[in-house]
Amino acid sequence: MTAALAASPHVMNTYARLPIALSHGRGCRVWDVNGRSYLDALGGIAVNTLGHAHPQLVAALQDQVGKLIHTSNYYHVPDQEVLAAKLVELSGLSNVFFCSTGLEANEAALKLARKFGHDRGIDRPEIVVYERAFHGRSIATLSATGNPKVQAGFGPLVEGFIRVPQNDIEAVRKATAGNPNVVAVFFETIQGEGGVNSMRVDYLRDIRALCDERNWLLMIDEVQCGIGRTGKWFAHQWAGILPDVMPLAKGLGSGVPIGAVVAGPKAANIFKPGNHGTTFGGNPLAMRAGVETLRIMEQDGLLANAARVGAHLMAGLRRELGDLPTLREIRGQGLMIGVELTVPCGDLVKHCAEAGLLISVTADSVIRLVPPLILTEAEADEIVALLCPLIHEHFSQPALATA
């Protein structure tokens, strides 16, 4: 990095930004305005599925921009049906609502759950949510989020949430015992912001069975772990279950803002005209990005690539960090990997950027790698070679670590 960039005087100060301004990219690499290159192991936070400037996506988007960017949901948008049919095929569910971001997809899911309750005569519906969950930053989704830092300063929170720990089916039974107002259970298959924490396969099956037994909606937030990242289209598919409601966003448009709520038969007909909507949702540009992203993923076998290169990356990390005194755990699946240390390591982001590697640290002490799904084994080796020495250098001492 050259001289630090002055903070933007006019952009609202919502991010502690690195002093880097990026100008262009290609594949898994990006360049800053000074011509320095970086290997991108963050992918815009699990967004850039196809990396940067993928030639086929660029061509499709250029073609679309020259035709229509936006119309309105007052009219049919033909690619909405194309993308919805594809998501239905891949998920085994039945209908899709389109929006533009993850929080909007989750907001729609929460509204579906409440209306599901009201339609059954439940006036004060309640939804089971999880510790360390992250569902977005709108007032409702930050209330569903299990992180006091996200909620601080924004009370009063939305009511109607019951919070439980991950992977403890008895805790759900206990927290909901005798409560006739519960309408849904809502979680991420693998928590992203919360620190790459997975739901166990047996838990996913148990919670599906419990939802069936109680007639609750099973709502699975696949905004970060979905769209091929774990080696299946959706992470819950490793358990062989179907959700009733599945919010998507991040990777679906490979960088173009897009969100979607995919619903199964139990939730597909809850919304009627007038119940929900959004101006930008489902616009022709976003739909083209979604259709093209999924097409290229299939064409290039990116699910298999995510599984294979993810396993290779994980093996490299285990090899190089096995003797690290501050290592708590290396976990995740496919190209969604978390390395948890016993010490806070937020400054690693800066050290890595100086060495030409983009990563993130979440939940204070979890190094998160969510690179584009086109990552090669050679690039995975490069991530390991850049990252691991910096961890050893700066964060290997439990007592002396300076975060």
Active site residues: 134, 221, 250
Kindly tell me which of 199 and 327 has the beta carbon lying closer to ligand PLP.
Answer: 199
Distances in Å between the Cα of 154 and the Cα atoms of 15, 110, 142, 150, 187 are: 17, 19, 9, 9, 22
Residue type, 103: L
Binding mask 209-248 for ligand PLP (x = CB under 6 A): ------------x-xx------------------------
Question: CA-CA distance, 161 to 304, in Å (whole number)?
Answer: 37
Q: Does 370 engage in binding with ligand PLP (CB under 6 A)? A: no
Measure the CA angle with vertex 294, ends 372 and 376; round to 5°. 30
DSSP 350: H
Binding mask 339-368 for ligand PLP (x = CB under 6 A): ------------------------------
CB of 191 to ligand PLP, least distance (A): 7
Contact pick of 43, 117, 136, 264 for ligand PLP (by CB under 6 A): 136
Q: Does 106 engage in binding with ligand PLP (CB under 6 A)? A: yes
CB of 246 to ligand PLP, least distance (A): 11
Kindly tell me which of 293 and 326 has the beta carbon lying closer to ligand PLP.
Answer: 293
CB of 101 to ligand PLP, least distance (A): 4
Kindly tell me which of 218 and 343 has the beta carbon lying closer to ligand PLP.
Answer: 218
Contact pick of 51, 117, 192, 253 for ligand PLP (by CB under 6 A): 192
Kindly tell me which of 192 and 228 has the beta carbon lying closer to ligand PLP.
Answer: 192
In this structure, the strands spanning 217-221 and 197-198 are unpaired
CB of 69 to ligand PLP, least distance (A): 20
Q: Does 249 engage in binding with ligand PLP (CB under 6 A)? A: yes
Crossing angle of helices 78-91 and 284-299, rounded to 10°: 40
Q: With CB under 6 A, what is the number of residues at the site for ligand PLP? A: 15
Question: CA-CA distance, 101 to 108, in Å (whole number)?
Answer: 11
Q: Does 103 engage in binding with ligand PLP (CB under 6 A)? A: yes
Burial class (CB in 10 A: 0-12, 13-18, 19+), 312: middle
Q: Does 116 engage in binding with ligand PLP (CB under 6 A)? A: no
User: Contact 135/106 with Cβ under 8 angstroms?
Assistant: yes
CB of 226 to ligand PLP, least distance (A): 9
Token digits of residue 125 = 């519906």
Kindly tell me which of 234 and 395 has the beta carbon lying closer to ligand PLP.
Answer: 234
CB of 130 to ligand PLP, least distance (A): 11
DSSP 134: -
Kindly tell me which of 106 and 230 has the beta carbon lying closer to ligand PLP.
Answer: 106
Residue closest to 254 by CA, chosen among 209, 300, 221: 300
Q: Does 326 engage in binding with ligand PLP (CB under 6 A)? A: no
Question: CA-CA distance, 13 to 279, in Å (whole number)?
Answer: 27
Q: Does 134 engage in binding with ligand PLP (CB under 6 A)? A: yes
Question: CA-CA distance, 145 to 137, in Å (whole number)?
Answer: 8
Kindly tell me which of 52 and 250 has the beta carbon lying closer to ligand PLP.
Answer: 250
User: Contact 29/39 with Cβ under 8 angstroms?
Assistant: yes
Contact pick of 54, 114, 135, 208 for ligand PLP (by CB under 6 A): 135
Helices (H), 120-232: 139-144, 148-151, 169-176, 201-214
User: Contact 143/151 with Cβ under 8 angstroms?
Assistant: yes
Size of the chain, expressed as the number of residues it contains:
403
**What are the residues facing 38 on neighbouring strands?**
30
Q: Does 102 engage in binding with ligand PLP (CB under 6 A)? A: yes
Q: Does 101 engage in binding with ligand PLP (CB under 6 A)? A: yes
User: Contact 338/194 with Cβ under 8 angstroms?
Assistant: no
| Contact set with ligand PLP (CB under 6 A) | 101-103, 106, 134-136, 188, 192-193, 221, 223-224, 249-250
